[in-house]
Structures are given as structure tokens and as C-alpha cells.
Structure 1
Amino acid sequence: MSIFYLIKALWKTDKTQVTGGVVRRVGFINNPSSISTVATGTTVTGFTVQVTTTGITATTPTNVNNIAQVFGKTAGDPASPLIFDDSGDQNPDNINPTTGAFPTTADSGYYPTTPANTDTGNNNQGTPSVTGNVNVYTISTATANSVLNGPNGAPDATGPSGNNDDFTNKSAFVPPNTPPGSTLDPQSVGFTNTIKNNGTSPNDITIVPTTPATATDLPNNTKVTVSYNNQSAIYTYNNGTFTIAAGTPIKISGVAAGASVNYGLEVDLPAGTQLSTDTGKGFPVPITALIDTNNNGVVDGAEVYNISIDRVYTGFLKMVKMSRVILGTGPAVQGTDGTLSITPKNPAPGNIIEYQIQYTNISDTQAGTGNVILNANKVVITEDGTLGSGGNNWALDNDSNTQIDTSNIVGSAKDSGASTIQFFNGNPATTSGIDQTGTTVNTDITKYVDTATGQVAPGIQRTFTFQRKVN
């Protein structure tokens, strides 16, 4: 399906007046009496278009491409340049996202059946981000044998590149105070997935684990258990191959046309597994649902199948504490001490130490539809300067000169996102206080507690920053 886009389109309000009777563009023209202007940050919704396909008879899936455009000018400024944007990305087409300038680019004009730029997730995150990206909807004629496999309740989910990489993300339990660089023997993680017989005939559907796209993404000796009702099959993974260790491949017999069925999966990662917060990724177990016509447990020839990925993270909220030295009233900052980093610093009296805690959700973002992602909830950062003995000691009198070694800079404690910051004093730091500065544990701040508001979504990094003056 091809769609024409022309800035100076000849609009008609009666579709019967269109040449050939084929509508290739639908416009919504604003009535100023309804919406006079759109304020900064305001979202206007309610624009919907429905189309009916014709002539799709082949069994090969057909892609229907769609892109929406919006045009506008600065209110009250007739001489302002026309701004226009295509859906599928996050930037106006004719504004340079780096400089804010209006480059000499023209409207794309025409998108062919197979566009160069496609918003594969249909989530307005397409790249490149300055030319617009086509949203694609795939239509296929129903066949006798067809199967869908996806997260719980979403067998038709789609992933970053299609319907064979949709996913469910979960995290194994990581013991408190597990330091970076550690390995562990994670507890098993259970999943529930849903298959659907998308064909027109009843079918037997087999469920088997499959080697990840990158075989080394899953560690050797991983154990995977597939279960359905009273059936179970246990697999072990080594050197890129799943081997059945107990039971037989799970076959769900006689699934009616259009019916959906849930099955279970348990992933048991081996001892010595790295932390995901060190590697930056989870451990994927692709699960294939297939109509296994020759009953050998693998996809052969033209056998119909669909893949969904169950991915285990060993922790997914990464925290990095950095520092830098600021001049303050002290001597010049030495070497690279003025650069935020994890390396030790050498401040002098009068200098200010700025601490920054970066916390990042390293799990996969929602790319596609129906996937299960990992949001970090109830995130609380505690910075207690009275711990000593290998912990924070910035609120202690380590040199016994009757003053604590550093004092709070009032107003410096900030989170880059919405949060509530609480202040405590004393040693132990249990007395609720205000944002104050002093030279003793009772007149200064000895503990900061930063409670993030809402969720920290996948791919989001936030920072908590506070400053202390060296006494």
C-alpha cells in the first residue's frame, strides 16, 4: 500500500470527488474556534483513520505502510516558517535536532512499498530521527496451520524487529549488598507464556527451547524446564545446544482454531553467573512453538513456528558513585580531580567534593507491542556518612580535630528526576533534620535519603548529587 504526501495537497471534503475514487491521504484541518493554539507540552489526541484491505489473497504476509504528518506555525507570527513532522520518530522533519536550525530539506513526498526508514517497533522511536519513519502493519490471509507464541496473554506480541523476538523480562533475586564484579548462583525464575492456534484447523503445538541468536548470551549449564499441565521436559544448555535431560518435548494436542493456551517455563542459571549490571544485558531463552509435522522436536523445512524470548536479568538497576573536586575557597584543583569519575580524589581544606550517584535501569526498553518489561519501583538511595570501616566516612571526625571532616552545602542535594530528599543528623544518623550546614554531627547533615517518585523505566538514567565542603 503506497501513500502520497504533498505539502500543497489539493484537499476535497467529498471522497467521491477524488480521481479514481481512491483516497491516498486523509487530512484533519483545525477549526480555530475549537482549538485556537496548542500550548507547549500539550498533547492533542483523537485522530483516527480506519482502512479496509482489498485484494490480499496470497498466503504471503503483506505489509501495509502508514505515516502521519502534522504541519503548524508559531501562533501570532504569520512570517514564521512552516514546521512539519512525520510520525515514527521524535524530531520535526525540517528542524535540525542538534542546532535547532531550519535546514533546506523538502518533504519526503512519497514512501514506496518497502520504505528505507521503518519504525520497527511502531513506537515513534525510528531512526534516523529527522526524516520520519513508516509504521508497518502486517496482514496475512488465514491458513490451516499457523501458530503464535508470546508473553502471558499476548501471543501476538511483537518485538524490536518482528513477531519472533517479542519478550518477557524478569529478574532473579540478587542478595543485598552484592558488590559489582560478583558472581552468583541465581534462584530459578518462572515464566508463563501463551500460544495461540492462529490457523483455521485444530493443531498439535510443540514447545521447545532454542539457541539464542548469540549463543554465548546464555551460560553453559543453564537448566530450562518447559511444563504444561502434568507434562514437563527438562533441558540443559551447553556450547550453543539444548539437550533434553528428562521427559519428552512438550506437545499440546488438539488446540482448536483460534484457541489460546498457557504453558510454563523455568530458567535456572548456573553458579558463577555474572551480574547483569556488570554485563549490561540479560540472559535470553528463546522458546519456539511449532507445528511439528515430523515429530522430531525441531523446525524443519516449511514447518510453521513462532518464537518468544524469556529473559532473566541478575539485577537490572545499576548504581555508580562518582566524585569531583570543586575549587570552593580552597587551593586550585589538582590534575583530573575536577572531572567526575570513580577514581580517588585529593581535596584540600576549603575545596568542595561533589558526589554524584548515577542509577540506571539497564534492562531492555519496550520495543514493539505486548512485551513485559522491568520497571524499577520504590527506588531509595541512602547516603550515610557515619558508617566508617570501609563505608562512607565523610560525616566523621577522622583526624580528631573536633570538627567533622566535611560539611553539607545547603541546596546541593538534588535528584535529576522527581523525588523526595530527607535529611538526618547525629551519629548514628537517625535524627530527622533540615537542609543545614555545621561542623558537628548534630549541626550538619550526616545522612541523605533520596526516594525516587514513580518508576525508573528501562533505559533511563537518573542522578542524585550532593556536595560537601572540606573542613
Structure 2
Amino acid sequence: MLLRATLALAALCLWAAPALAQTAGGTQIQNRASATYSDGTSSYSVVSNTVTVTVANVSGLAITPDVGSVPNVVAGQSNVDFTFTVTNTGNYATQVRFLASGASVQLSGPATVQKAVIDVNNNGIDAGDTDILANASDVLSSSIAHNATLTVIVRVNVNAGASAGSTINVKLGDAATGGPTFDNQTANNSANEVRTSVPSGTTAPVNGESEARGDASTTVDNDAQLRLNLNAPAGPVALGSNITYTWSLDNTGARSASSQTLTNAPAGSNTGVFVIVPVPARTTFVSVTPPAGVTVLYSTSPLSSNPVTAATWTTTAPSPLSNTVRVAFNVGASLASGASATNMQFVVSVNTGINATNPIYEIGDAFGKNTVAASLTDQSGDLVVNKGDGNADFNEPRSGVDPLSATQGFQLPTTLTQAGNVLIGPSGAPAAVGPTDNNDDYTNKSVAPAAIAGLSHLDTLGAAASVDFTNTVQNTGNADDTFTLTAPTVPAGFTVAISTNGGTSFTTVSGGGSTTLAVAFGSSANIIVRVTAPAGSAVLQSGGFSTAIRATSGISNTQKNDTLDNLYTGFLKLVKSFTVINGTTFGAATDPVPGADIEYTVTYSNVSTGGGGAGCVNLVASSIVISEDGTAVPNNWAATTTQITSPAPSDSNGGTITDGTTNGAVTAATTWLKDAAGTLNPGVSKAFVFRRRIN
């Protein structure tokens, strides 16, 4: 009967444990009844025997919070504490068991557990606490009175790469039933439990050991997020003119951005949230206009120097301004969440004499720190926050040209006004000027000697003959250009072809054809022009056959230049004439009678054109030797005439006339005269004159 009463009381206590104040285990409950009665005369009293009930031990355990929370965190934050209260809800003093190797602590989300302890002295984590994370075996707490508590602190570090919106959850214990509190559950030796453990010498609880579970979560916020924006004009912008860049800096994160320190900047200006912009290549710094509250610093340190730790900064603009390499805007000690610093203007001048093919590129870097004192940087050119390499130079990809970088922004382009221009002229002399201007400069060349051997000015070519001319095309515009090559003037019946690859292949341009030639800014390139004269072309034609070769800019098709390639079918013309001088008494004064003299005149002319300036290619006849051999077929005058020595043979060009046989002086016996006439420039005619007397 006593055993049944004891068990019934234990069951009642177990059921009521969460809600009622519990009688301590081992408490003896005694009960003795008394009664009075009468026999009609006397009154009597009586007592019963005393019965004793001893209260059984009943275990119970609660862990709070349940579905609790701690303040939001940011990526990279350390020492985030999750605090749990463990309460002995049983009716006797017991210990709490934490499993070996921190198994009683469960973490999910982008974080790691740094420490887990029983806070023995309730003053936070310190050296006196009991470690339940690195414990090689189970840890038992000290004995806890019923309704007493102990504190457990789980400290975590948030991963640096934790994404905003991520949840970090810590569970202490793993009771799976009894929700929503998951307290006072029968322990089942599960893998991550926290449970009671009856102390040595203490009667075991009638309901076995109890376990519980608590959990708390936090959410990862966006920390400070810097986004640097650049308004760069699209262009085109003329060389020598200004480009105005406008910068703004936004903090799109949930926390304020704090200050960064420039190592080598003046005190008072060296700390803040900075926008640092380099002066673009091929430009010169002009001015900067900061908005109210923003201060400006200048650096002449090379772009290779780290802008934060190595570059030297001043608050005074360099002299001259052209020495400026970087400019820094200090937007203030912090930049609040959702705030922006706007309208920071930066003006540069585009240098003259540069290649306008390539745009001017600009990019900037923002610098600050977040709430965990980690450095922040962002580069302009894209919309991604906190993305940059922090070097404030130009090693980043170019927008529209290079692929996206995972760690950098984009350089933004401003195109330049391109002006095409061109010169074409003789080989190596594209700027040559002809008799009039640089559209009639020329190259004079003759067909091969074999093509005209034995022919006079009265003859024509027996077969087609070609001459290759080398012309030089110079890009005098301000950008890379592709020039169209044509032949607007071609002699009738002639064929003109152009090679732009050194003679490997030719494109016919006579008859309206064309070809193209790409020439880089400031460069020149040679072409080969092959002019073919058809059979039947006149030999030794005065002025030759002129072909105009034209180069036209692809950038500005109104810009063009011509050069003349003049083909000659020989260029030294000999014209023989005679005059009879009859001093005899026979016949008229000009009758060729025996004893009369025949005066032969050989007029030799350079039929090529001249008059051009430096660079034009002339045909100068040199080492001229005129031969008059009276014995060479078809000549027969040696046998029928005698040389007159007075007047002596003469040459208006000052040539030396000798006896062709003896190389000595001309005598009456001379039958072969040689005139070493020397040199004859274009367009010049001279005469060789000698007399013979008819035998």
C-alpha cells in the first residue's frame, strides 16, 4: 500500500512539474488521524497510527531561449555571443551533462563556433569558465539546486563571405519532442543532447534523466556597401579640349562606412572616406570642384605607388598642375547607410598630338572601412558594390573592350574626335611637292632598256612593258586610318595595279578599281604601283605617260592626296638634222655637191619632266656618250666625206669630242666621232655639231 502511494505521488509530481512548485525529492509527508467519541456518559479520544510518504526524485530540464534571437550581424563580425539559460526544473539537485567535443552545440549558417562555455561566474567568457567545446570527454556541471540555473555562452565568428539575409542558428541540445519549448523531455542518449545527470549518492529519478533544447538565431545584414559612380562624357571630344568627370559615392549597405587613413597625408586631412581618381593617360589635370564639406588632396606619386599606404598627399595643388597624378576627395569621417556624396567634379585637358583612335579611359576607387574595421574599396564603372582592387590606376578592364573582372570595375571611355589626313608621294617622301603643290609631286621611271633597244622617237613599243613604282603613304591624321587607293588618271590603254603587301599580290585599279591600305597613326607604309604600257605606245614621248595615284582618308573622305607615277619609254631623245653649206662654184648654196660641207647636228633632249621640289624623283641622263661612226651600218659617210676640223666639232653641253678610233684629237682622217656629253637634266636639250666635206 505504501509503495502504491509513493508511485502515485511521483507520477503526480512528474505531470505537474512544469507548472507547479515542486516538493523536494526525499521530503517525508506524515499523516496520523485522530477521533473523539462518547459512550453516552464519557467522551473519548483516539489516534491512528502514523503513515509516512517520502517524495520521489523527479528530473526536469529547461533551456531558454526557444526560437530566440540576437542582434543582427555583418559578414566578418567576430565574438557574437549566443547566451542560453539552463534551468533544473526537477525537484532535487542534479548535474547537467554536456557531450564530449562540443557535440551538445549545433551551428548552422555562415559562421564558425569559436568558444562554448559554462559561465561559472556569470560575468561573460573568461578564464574561469568551463569549456564545453574542446572537451575530450563529457562535461558535468556542478550540482544545481532545483529551480536554479546555469548560463551557457556560445561564441561564434561570422564568415567574411557571409551573404546578406543569411541566417545563423545555434542550438543547445537536441530534444526533438515537446515543442514549442522542447523542455522536460525524457533523455534518449541522442547525439547532441544536453541532459540531467543524477549526482553520485543521489536516488535516481523515477522518470529517468531529462533533456531539453534551446535555440537562437541571427540574420546577416549588409554591412557598409560602397558604390562609386562615374559620369564620363561619351564623346567625341576634340584634342586640346577639356573633359569634365563627375563622381558620386553611395553607401547602399545597412551600416555606416567609417574612415580610412592615408599613411602619407597631412594630419587633419588624412582620415576619412575617400574617392581617389587618377589623371587619365594622355591628359593633363586642369581643376577640381568639390561639393560643400568635401576636401581635396593631391598626389604626384607614380601610379605604381599604393594610394593608401605609399603615395604622398598634400592639400595644396602641385605647381605646375600638369604634375598631378591623382586627386583624392575626402567626403567625411563616415558615410551613413543610404547616404551619398555627390557632384565631385574633376577636369582634365586632352593632350594634342596624340592618337585619337583610342578613347580616353577613366576609373576611380573609393576607400573606407566597415563596422568590423575591415577595409572597403569599390571601383567605378559597374553597379556592383565593394568590388575593386584598391590601386587607383589603370590596370582594370575597359568597358566595351575587355571581359568583366570578378574583382575590378570598368574603365569608362570618352571617344576623341578623329580627323583623317594623308600624304602620298615618292618612296620615302610622302610630303614631296611638285611644280605646283603636293598633288603633282612625281616619280619618273623608264621602261627597261631592252624594251626600247634600237628604237628612235619615231618608233613604238613592240610589246607591252611594265614599270614598278614605289610610293609612300603617310597617315598625317590624328588616328589610325584605312586609306582608299585609286588611279583617277590613267593613260589610254594603260593598266595600273597596286600591291599593298610588298608585291605578293596586286589589285587592278585602272578602270575605276580601288584597294585599301591600313596605316597606324603617325606611321607610313609603302605601296608598289605597277604601270603597264601597251604595245604600240610611242617611244621617247615628251613628258612620258603620267598616272595619278590617289590616297583618300577613310575617316574624312574629303581628305585626299595625289602623286604622279610617270612612265617613260626612254627619256634621252636624239634628233639628227643637217645643213648643206656649198662654198663651191657649182650649184646653189645648199646643194650637196663635191666639195660642199655637210653640217650635222645631233640634238639630244631629256624628255622627262622636272621642276619638282625635294623628294620628287627625276630622270637625269648621265654618262651620255654620243657616237657618230661613219663606218657602222647604215652609215657610209666615212667613205664619202672628210672631217672638217675648222670649225671643230662642238657640243653645247660642253661635251668632250674625240676620235672614236684613237681616242685622241679629231683630225681630217677621223671617221668616228665620240662625244662624252656628260649629264642632262629633265627638260633640257643640247646639240652636238660637226662638219664633213663631200669628197
Query: TM-score by structure 2 length?
Result: 0.38
Relative distance call for 1:207 and 1:331 in structure 2 (3 A) is: same
Relative contact order higher in (CA < 8 Å, ≥ 6 apart):
1
How far the C-alpha of 1:274 sits from its partner, in A, is 1.4
Match of 1:393 in 2: 636
Query: Which of these residues, 277, 285, 303, is aligned with residue 558 of structure 2?
Result: 303
Alpha-carbon shift at residue 418 of structure 1 (Å): 2.2
Question: 1:450 is matched with which residue?
Answer: 675
Equivalent residue number for residue 596 of structure 2: 351
**Among residues 436, 439, 442, which one is paired with 2:667 in the alignment?**
436
1:231 CA displacement: 6.7
The verdict on how the C-alpha distance between 1:274 and 1:236 changes in structure 2, with shifts beyond 3 A counting, is farther
Residue 468 (structure 1) aligns with: 692
Kindly state the Cα deviation for residue 158 of structure 1 after the two structures are TM-superposed.
1.3
User: How far apart are 1:219 and its partner, in Å?
Assistant: 2.3
> CA RMSD, aligned part only?
2.4
The alignment partner of 1:307 has SS state of: strand
Per-residue deviation at 1:186?
A: 4.0
**Corresponding position of 1:324:** 579
- The equivalent of 1:420 in structure 2 is 656
Judged with a 3 Å threshold, the aligned counterparts in structure 2 of structure 1 residues 304 and 463 are, in CA distance, closer, same or farther, namely same
Deviation for aligned residue 1:431: 4.5
* 1:198 to 2:476 alignment: yes
Q: CA deviation at 1:330?
A: 4.8
Asked whether the 8 Å contact 1:358–1:464 carries over to 2, the reply is yes
Picking from 596, 606, 613, the partner of 1:361 is: 606
Match of 1:286? 548
Post-superposition CA distance 1:214-240 (Å, at most 9, x none): xxxx02252423333477443264xxx
SS in 2 for 1:179: coil
Tell me the residue number matched to 2:516: 251
- Once the two structures are superposed, residues 265-320 of structure 1 have per-residue CA deviations (whole angstroms, 9 ceiling, x without a partner) of 11111122111x2x422111111111135xxxxxxx95311111111011111111
Paired residue type of 1:282: G
2:614 aligned with 1:373, yes or no? no
What secondary structure, in the 3-state scheme, does the structure 2 residue paired with 1:395 have? helix
CA distance in 2, matches of 1:186, 1:148: 31
Alignment partner, residue 183 of structure 1: 460
More strand per residue: 2
Provide structure 2 residue ranges, at least 5 long, that are not aligned to the other structure.
1-416
Unaligned runs of 5+ in 1: 1-141, 213-217, 294-300, 338-345, 397-403, 425-429, 438-443
Counterparts of 1:220 and 1:283 in 2: how far apart (Å)?
A: 11
> 2: distance between equivalents of 1:151 and 1:196?
11
Q: Distance in 2 between matches of 1:305 and 1:349?
A: 66
- Deviation sequence 1:93-143 (CA, Å, 0-9, x none): xxxxxxxxxxxxxxxxxxxxxxxxxxxxxxxxxxxxxxxxxxxxxxxxx97
Label 1:168 to 1:230 Cα distance change in 2 as closer, same or farther (>3 A). Answer: closer
* Aligned 1:139-178 pairs, distance under 5 A: 144-173=419-448, 174-178=451-455
Q: How far off is 1:324 after superposition?
A: 0.6
Provide the rounded CA distance (Å) in 1 between the counterparts of 2:544 and 2:643: 41
Q: Matched residues in 2 for 1:445 and 1:379: separation?
A: 21
Offset of residue 182 of structure 1: 1.8
Compared CA separation, residues 361 and 450, structure 1 to 2 (3 A): same
| C-alpha distance in structure 2 between counterparts of 1:256 and 1:176, whole Å | 44
Please list the CA deviations of residues 7-43 of structure 1 after superposition, one character each: whole Å capped at 9, or x if unmatched.
xxxxxxxxxxxxxxxxxxxxxxxxxxxxxxxxxxxxx
Query: Are the structure 2 counterparts of residues 445 and 468 from structure 1 closer, same or farther at C-alpha, using a change threshold of 3 Å?
Result: same
Sequence identity of aligned pairs in percent?
37
Q: 1:470 to 1:160 in 2, by over 3 A?
A: same
CA contact (8 A) 2:553 2:560 kept: yes
When normalised by structure 1's length, the TM-score is: 0.54
The residue type equivalent to 1:166 in the other structure is D
CA change 1:407–1:252 in 2 (3 A) is closer
**Structure 1 counterpart SS, 2:472:** strand
Q: Contact 2:423 / 2:431 at 8 angstroms: preserved in 1?
A: yes
Taking a change above 3 Å as real, the CA distance of residues 392 and 417 of structure 1, as seen in their structure-2 partners, is same
- Say how many residue pairs are matched: 276
Name the counterpart of 2:528. Answer: 264
Aligned to 1:42: none
- Tell me by how many angstroms 1:252 deviates: 2.4
